[in-house]
Structure 1
Amino acid sequence: MNIYVGNLAYGVTQEELRDAFGAYGEISSVNLITDKFTGDSKGFGFVEMPNNAEADAAIKGLNETPLKGRNLKVNQAKPRGERPSRGPRW
């Protein structure tokens, strides 16, 4: 299951997310989203867990819990749909 993790403090590392979610089970991947120009964190990321029961437990256990001074927003990631048009490109 792909899990969205939002409201991250900008200093949170992939290792810290792996540690937090690892308490609930196996982790396939951790991906912090960063600005492509500066490399700075955008304050959210995704954690992939292969076992849905463990992923559900992690979502319930970590949502609204503090990490580095900010309460995490944790839920199942929604599939990426069609992007809205940004208007005409002339």
Structure 2
Amino acid sequence: MSIYVGNLSYEVVQDDLSAVFAEYGTVKRVQLPTDRETGRLRGFAFVEMGTEAEETAAIEALDGAEWMGRDLKVNKAKPREDRGSFGGNRGGGGGGGARTGGNRGRY
């Protein structure tokens, strides 16, 4: 069970977020992702609650609520999409098409 919390202040700390969600039940885990290059918070978090009922209560109470000067976006976290390896599965296999064939010798 995981909740997505968006539009967070960049000043938020894990303990503060945990305390807010603890009002609705047991907080099992709080994850505050950071930017790999700068180490700065990314403005969102994931919170795991003890039960689905606690999760639902927190979402209903906190979605749209103002906290630390911002209106929170709180909903069930969606499973992370598998982006695949570099190049992905975007159909076509990459560029280079314009440089092949009939354009040879026109440079």
TM-score by length of 2: 0.76
Show structure 1 runs of 5+ residues with no match.
none
Point out the more displaced range, 2-11 or 35-44. 35-44
Q: Match of 1:5, SS?
A: strand
Q: Using CA pairs below 8 Å that are at least 6 residues apart, which structure has the higher relative contact order?
A: 1
1:14-53 deviation digits (Å, cap 9, x = unpaired) = 1111011000000110000111122111100100012100
Show structure 2 runs of 5+ residues with no match.
88-93, 95-107
| Aligned counterpart, 1:36 | 36
Structure-2 separation of matches of 1:46 and 1:26: 14
Q: How many residues align?
A: 88
Identity %: 51
Note the aligned Cα RMSD (angstroms).
Answer: 1.5
* Structure 1 residue 84: Cα displacement: 6.7
Q: Hey, which of these two has a bigger chunk of strand by percent?
A: 1
| Aligned counterpart, 1:51 | 51
